[in-house]
Amino acid sequence: MTVHSLLTNPLTHLSDEILGCMELKQDPLFHKIPEDKIAYYVQASLRAGRVAAEKYKGCNIRRMYREAGLRHEVTDASGDFHQVSFRAQIDFAKKPPQILLYSSSLNGMQRVCRNILGASPTAEPDMDRLIDIHLAHEFYHWLEYREGSFTNERLEPIEVFKLGPYTKRSSVVQCSEIAAHAFCKEVLDLPCLPNLLDYAYLIEDNQLQEKVFEQQLETCKCWISRTLNTSPGVI
Ligand SMILES: [Zn+2]
């Protein structure tokens, strides 16, 4: 895979499992997850997102917001907080929860959006499409909030610390992100999990070396295939 191919091909060959695993790898407790449990967290999270998406497939995300009584706002304000750049946030303190989208952070992603996802079938401008993607992602978090439990809380906790009879367990928070990506992909009928846009953007912006990205994909492929007992070629 070269920079050219990464940014010009739709990369539909990157399975949800591999991209889900890339997301899981970012969990602060990832090193505590037993290797044979990696596929479980990825697959259970993908399933949660897909199941939630079933009743919304083909629906217009902006109409979903209107019907749910959810408000969203696109702001010019910077999405940078403590050196982390946010593109969207949901404020559960507001009643109803409010979704904030940061246009300055979204602007730079328009080109990778088109390169990775291809032209929109409805000829929607890239910026609107990016907004839809982030709205769908946050909609899933709102569904979790409404149900009173986030995806990570519904999956098995991992052991993070053990001292004698005392065991501290924690949920794997990144599972909620994997599920939100899967929900977004299904509802908007995207060719891949939308977190691929993040990586493509980082590579294009020289914040991530393509070689490093390829190595990470290979590592994920091995983890998933090992647990699923299958060849890396079929994932
Ligand atoms: Zn999220």
Q: Which of 81, 83, 194 is nearest to 132 (CA)?
A: 194
d(CA 89, ligand 1 centre) in Å:
8
Q: What is the 3-state secondary structure (H, E, C) of 166-206?
A: EEEEECCCHHHHHHHHHHHHHHHCCCCCCHHHHHHHHHHCC
d(CA 164, ligand 1 centre) in Å:
36
d(CA 137, ligand 1 centre) in Å:
6
d(CA 105, ligand 1 centre) in Å:
15
Q: What's the mean pLDDT in 111-133? A: 89
d(CA 166, ligand 1 centre) in Å:
32
d(CA 3, ligand 1 centre) in Å:
27
d(CA 48, ligand 1 centre) in Å:
14
pLDDT, residue 16, reads 96
d(CA 4, ligand 1 centre) in Å:
29
Q: What region does 69 belong to: left with phi over 0, alpha with psi -120 to 50, or beta?
A: left
At 1, the pLDDT band (50, 70, 90 cuts) reads: very low
In this structure, of 3-17, 86-100, 116-130, 165-179, the range with the lowest mean pLDDT score is 3-17
d(CA 180, ligand 1 centre) in Å:
6
d(CA 141, ligand 1 centre) in Å:
7
pLDDT tens digits for 59-110?
Answer: 999 999 999 999 999 998 776 766 666 789 899 898 888 999 998 889 889 9
pLDDT tens digits for 135-165?
Answer: 999 999 999 999 999 999 999 999 999 999 9
The Cα–Cα gap between 79 and 81 comes to 6
- pTM for this model (two decimals): 0.90
d(CA 138, ligand 1 centre) in Å:
6
10 Å CB burial of residue 59 (0-12, 13-18, 19+) is middle
